Amino acid sequence: MISALAKFDNITAAGILARAALAITDNPAGEIQLPGEASIREAVISEALLAHGLNPQDQTPQALERLEEILDSERESLVQAATRPALERLSIRGDLPSDLFDIELVRDISDFHGPKFRAEEKLIAETVRSPDREQHYGPPLAPGQPFLISLFAKQFPSQYPAKTFTMLVVGQRQGLKLVIHQAWRIYPSEVSLENTTTLVDLLQRFSDNFGIEIELGGKRGRFILAADLPKSDSLSVSWRALSGEPQKIGKRQRRKITLSCFTQKRPNGTIQAALAVAIDLNKYSRLLEAMR
């Protein structure tokens, strides 16, 4: 281990290295999180460069790229040293630092954003790596509650206040992997942030505006926290537009709805759907185009 990190446990040290590597490319997710981390980071970088025969004053793109590789290699060594079962126990409890997750996005997200996906993917990663707020469901203990799900939120300011938004990301923890099923931009002009105590409240508020009513496992609404599912190989869902809901779809444009939920198997073998929403993608797309 780099001597400047000797006083930290492997997980904390790996987080410092991960953020230092991100900061090299001016990624906002590399922001300082610990007291005195700036000076620790300087010592880490200096020691790492000298150990590999590099000049700490060299700021050329080639030197910075090499530094990033060195820091990533050191981080991987620390993560491997902290046994995988120990890391997975942290993940189950919701205590694993988010910058150690291997992030995976479901294909629906990339398909929806198309050519704009790469830019959106960067914002999603920043939200997970350096959230303003986060909420985690632990192991499956309480009936009727989601489990092993994490929510992250981060505000992205704009010089135009109306275009400032909060990115809300929702993912399922699978060991050291975070599989992201939902990522929504929350604009205050469209979704009120008042009295949203939790990030689940924020997701529900978003679905109240952009969702349609669904019926799932005997429960109905625009947002379903958790619902029992029948024992079958298929997921049966019904939905309908609420009465009085305006239809702003052109004659040649089909209405696009995305149903997103986490299908979870409880320890007793029963299946539930958690954090289920059905979002009107036409309406959400119009908002994104207007704000962009």
Which residues on neighbouring strands pair with residue 227, listed in sequence order?
Answer: 273
92-96, 104-108, 281-285, range with the lowest pLDDT: 92-96
- Looking at residue 251, its pLDDT comes to 45
Task: Please report, as a single letter, which amino acid is at residue 33.
Answer: Q
User: In the predicted model, is pLDDT for residue 172 greater than 50?
Assistant: yes
Average pLDDT over residues 67-79: 81
The edge-to-edge listing of strands for the beta sheet with 238-240 is 219-221, 213-216, 238-240
Helix (H, G, I), strand (E, B) or coil at 280: strand
* Torsion on CA atoms 235, 264, 279, 291, rounded to nearest 10: -150
Segment among 79-88, 151-160, 212-221 with least mean pLDDT? 79-88
Number of Cβ atoms within 10 Å of the Cβ of 281: 16
Kindly report the backbone phi and psi dihedral angles of residue 240, in degrees, each rounded to the nearest multiple of 5, phi listed first: -150, 150
The pLDDT assigned to 243 comes to 35
pLDDT of residue 247: 42
Give the torsion sign (CA, 265, 271, 274, 280): positive
Rounded Cα distance between 143 and 20, Å, is 41
CA distance 139 to 149: 9
Over the chain, what is the mean pLDDT? 85
List, for residues 17-70, the tens digit of each pLDDT value. 888 888 887 776 678 888 888 898 888 888 888 888 877 777 788 888 888 888
Helix 199-210 and helix 281-291, axial crossing angle in degrees, nearest 10: 100
Nearest-angstrom CA–CA distance, 140 and 146:
7
Q: Which amino acid, residue 187?
A: Y
User: Nearest 5°: CA angle at 211, between 206 and 212?
Assistant: 155
What is the Cα Rg of the chain in Å?
22
Distances from the Cα of 157 to the Cαs of 4, 46, 92, 161, 163, in angstroms?
34, 33, 32, 7, 8
Classified as helix, coil or strand, 89 is helix
The DSSP string of 239-286 is EEPPTT------TT----EEEEEEEEE-TTS-EEEEEEEEEEHHHHHH
Write out pLDDT tens, residues 237-273: 554 444 334 444 444 457 788 999 898 988 888 889 9
Structure tokens at 106: 């479901």
Q: Are 135 and 171 in contact (CB under 8 A)?
A: no
| Least trusted range by pLDDT, from 74-78, 191-195, 218-222 | 74-78
Other Cβ atoms closer than 10 A to 60: 9
Mean pLDDT confidence for 286-292: 92
- The backbone region for 14, taken as left when phi is positive above 0, alpha when psi lies in -120 to 50, beta otherwise, is alpha
Q: What is the pTM of this model?
A: 0.72
DSSP 139: S
Spatial distance between the Cα atoms of 69 and 150, rounded to a whole number of angstroms: 29
Three-class secondary structure of residue 9 per DSSP: coil
CB atoms within 10 A of CB 29: 20
